[in-house]
């Protein structure tokens, strides 16, 4: 399982992320995934700010999340990230969350995105082509 991800980021649940039931609010998981995606891209030399400065924007067009189990206060977890081509102009970023230390699957995610060039047209830049 862990070896199937080229990138892995460990995090912890913070108390303010919990809902009235004492579990991580469903919307918070998207924050975890976004943070992991950005850290993954930074780790391979892709910086959102420098792309934006060049008029290139990475955008999410679809999010699919399958919630399997809940995280609670203080839980440690890791997010595994891998990216694949979805089509000529779309990327699929698979992100799964596992609780530490038992590696229990918490969430399976698939994020569909694209990259818009300075004219607002979808075009995957060479830097990202090399990753998929």
Catalytic residue among 15, 19, 53, 102: 19
pLDDT at 57: 94
pLDDT at 132: 83
Q: What strands, in cross-sheet order, belong to the sheet with 76-85?
A: 7-12, 76-85, 91-100, 105-116, 57-67
pLDDT at 111: 98
pTM equals 0.92
Is 81:8 a contact under the CB 8 Å cutoff?
yes
Interatomic CA distance for residues 95 and 35, integer angstroms: 11
pLDDT at 1: 59
User: Which neighbouring-strand residues pair with 99?
Assistant: 77
Omega before residue 13 within 30° of 0, cis: no
Widest CA span of the chain, in angstroms? 47
Residue 47 appears among annotated catalytic residues: no
Average confidence (pLDDT) per 10 residues, the chain, 132 residues: 86 97 97 96 90 92 98 98 94 97 97 94 90 83
């Amino acid at each position: 399982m862990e070896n199937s991800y080229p990138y892995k980021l460990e995090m912890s649940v913070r108390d303010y992320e919990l809902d009235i039931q004492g579990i991580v609010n469903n919307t918070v998981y998207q924050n975890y995934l976004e943070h992991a995606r950005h850290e993954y891209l930074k780790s391979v030399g892709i910086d959102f700010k420098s792309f934006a400065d060049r008029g290139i924007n990475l955008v999410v067009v679809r999010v699919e999340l399958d919630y399997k189990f809940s995280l609670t206060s203080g839980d440690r977890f890791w997010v595994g990230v891998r990216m694949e081509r979805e089509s000529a102009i779309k990327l699929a970023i698979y992100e799964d969350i596992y609780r530490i230390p038992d590696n229990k699957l918490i969430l399976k995610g698939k994020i569909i995105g694209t990259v818009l060039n300075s004219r607002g047209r979808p075009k995957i830049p060479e830097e990202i082509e090399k990753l998929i």
